[in-house]
Amino acid sequence: MKSLEELAQIRERMKNKVALREANGEIRIVVGMATCGIAAGARPVLNALVEQVAKQHLDNVTVTQTGCIGMCRLEPIVEVFMPNEERVTYVKMTPDKVPEVIEQHIKGGKPVVKYTIGAVEN
């Protein structure tokens, strides 16, 4: 980088890339896979999510993993990020709950409230 003009060009290019990523209609499903999540059963949940997404050919859905989400007592935790919507946090997830979340939330756009953090905490 040799000038402020070059810095401004880099900034503009990166802003465009971020805007493209946010506007591409991509749905992200993130599974907490720190030791607390793994110990609570996050690996079978992750596998079930990957299988369901592949089985139903949901090409606009990405399943990823992250470290500790910070609520160990509620593991396994799954967070769903849909474009232009608030994040939905599912807690105490099991592989048995995955088909319902995929069908109602990912495909239907309606979170399965009974599995969310608000429902469990109340």
- pLDDT of amino acid 118: 78
From first to last of its 122 residues, the chain has per-residue pLDDT tens of 567 788 787 777 665 544 434 435 589 999 999 999 999 999 999 999 999 999 998 889 999 999 998 899 999 999 999 988 999 999 999 999 999 999 999 999 999 999 998 776 65
- For 28-121, give the CATH class: alpha beta
Q: What is the pLDDT of residue 80?
A: 96
Structure token digits, residue 9:
């060009």
Please tell me the predicted confidence (pLDDT) of residue 19: 43
Overall pTM > 0.75: yes
Residue-level pLDDT at 91: 96
Residue 25 backbone class (left: φ over 0; alpha: ψ -120 to 50; beta: rest): left
Map out the domains of the chain as residue ranges: 28-121
| Contact present, 95 and 47 (Cβ < 8 Å) | yes
Q: What angle do CA 112, 115, 119 make, to 5 degrees?
A: 105
Positive or negative, the CA dihedral 106, 108, 111, 114 is negative
Within its chain, how far is the Cα of 64 from the centroid? 7
